[in-house]
């Protein structure tokens, strides 16, 4: 829950999963992670999922890590507000294009890897057929909702307050604001040859 200290709670969950996997006799593990996963105690999912990856590698079971780009489904969480106000709030600059992916495309890759021989391991980056900006999202939503939609980009100075308004604890808000900064500035190793899903933004919505 974002109302708790997510850095602590999510790591506790990761350790519980890893403990359950020990000695489970699995032929293969396919672990879902994220673009930007990296070491760090206070960078939201990026640090937690990196530790999950590293812990899974220590199990000795053949491992595939699926690092997914920004989920298109994340935009649906604010849909009621968009319908009511015609405003799409985002941490991203309005015209900045970033990798996005439909969840079903990530699932398809994971399913393929589960069926593949256990010798097929490694890290697999997955994103959609092209990159999109918040302006692209607003354009699609205008068509889907049949109403005008404009983008409102929150400046960095307002990120913490925005997370707090949405029910995040102080610690969680700080951690997720740091994760947001890494995402917006793309301060991570960009995949050289990502797998491309087939679902574009319009088809997803």
| pTM of the shown model | 0.94
Please report the pLDDT score of residue 70 as a whole number.
Answer: 98
Positions in the chain short of pLDDT 70 = none
The structure tokens listed for 94 are 């309005």
- Least Cα distance to 202 among 150, 151, 128, 149 occurs for 128
Please report the pLDDT score of residue 38 as a whole number.
Answer: 97
Residue 67 and residue 53: Cα distance in Å, rounded?
A: 10
CATH code where residue 78 lies: 3.40.50.720
Residue 170 and residue 125: Cα distance in Å, rounded?
A: 31
Does residue 164 sit within a domain? Answer: yes
**105 is in which domain, residue-wise?**
6-204
Please report the pLDDT score of residue 23 as a whole number.
Answer: 86
> Per the structure, how many domains does the chain have?
1
- The model's pLDDT over 25-45, given as tens digits with 9 standing for 90+, comes to 999 999 999 999 999 999 999
Query: What interhelical angle do 170-185 and 45-57 show, nearest 10?
Result: 80
Does residue 1 sit within a domain? Answer: no
Q: Which residues of 99-132 are buried (b: 16+ CB within 10 A; e: fewer)?
A: bbbbbebbebbbeebeeeeeeebeebbbbbbeeb
Query: What interhelical angle do 6-21 and 45-57 show, nearest 10?
Result: 20
């Amino acid at each position: 829950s974002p109302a708790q200290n997510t850095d602590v709670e999510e790591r506790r969950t990761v350790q519980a999963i890893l403990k359950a996997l020990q000695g489970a006799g699995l032929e293969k593990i396919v672990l879902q992670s994220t673009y930007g996963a990296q070491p760090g105690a206070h960078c939201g999912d990026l640090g937690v999922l990196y530790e999950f990856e590293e812990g899974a590698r220590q199990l000795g079971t053949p491992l595939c890590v699926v690092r997914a780009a920004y989920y298109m489904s994340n935009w649906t969480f604010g849909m009621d507000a968009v319908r009511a106000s015609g405003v799409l709030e985002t941490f991203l600059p309005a015209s900045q294009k970033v990798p996005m992916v439909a969840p079903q495309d990530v699932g398809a890759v994971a399913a393929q890897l589960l069926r593949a021989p256990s010798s097929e391991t490694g890290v697999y980056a997955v994103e959609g057929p092209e990159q999109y900006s918040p302006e692209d999202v607003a354009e699609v939503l205008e068509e889907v909702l049949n109403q005008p939609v404009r983008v409102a980009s929150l400046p960095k100075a307002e990120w913490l307050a925005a997370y707090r308004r949405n029910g995040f604890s102080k610690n969680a808000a700080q951690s997720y604001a740091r994760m947001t900064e890494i995402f917006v500035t793309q301060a991570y190793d960009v995949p050289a040859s990502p797998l491309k899903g087939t679902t574009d933004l319009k088809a997803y919505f």
